[in-house]
Amino acid sequence: MYIKTIIMKDTLIIPTPAEIIGLDGVKKFFADLKAADYVFHPDDDFTEYSNTSINEGRMLNLTMSKCWEICSDECTGEEDIYSIAMDILYPDREK
């Protein structure tokens, strides 16, 4: 099931939590958020974003919760949910 929603300039297809599989799924979700002009933080509550409805925010929160679950299980070393988000949002930053 996909929820199609208009967010800022672009269309964002919000995946259900079951559709986020592994770290590649997390990275794709974060890249999709960036493509839809989201500047986000993994700790954010999406229901507080001015450009989402309450239902859209709730779905984004559920999907982000799944990302947290995957990262807590699969991330090792210096890679974590925060570094993944930073690498997607700011690929040219110094590490």
Write down the domain spans for the chain: 2-89
pLDDT, residue 78, reads 83
pLDDT digits 0-9 by tens, 3-55? 555 444 456 788 999 999 999 999 999 999 999 888 899 999 999 988 788 88
Q: What predicted TM-score, i.e. pTM, was given to this entire model? A: 0.85
At CB < 8 A and 24+ separation, what contacts does 51-58 make?
Answer: 51/7, 51/8, 52/5, 52/7, 53/5, 56/3, 56/5, 56/7, 56/14
- Identify the DSSP state of 93: S
Q: Compute φ and ψ for 7, nearest 5 degrees.
A: -130, 115
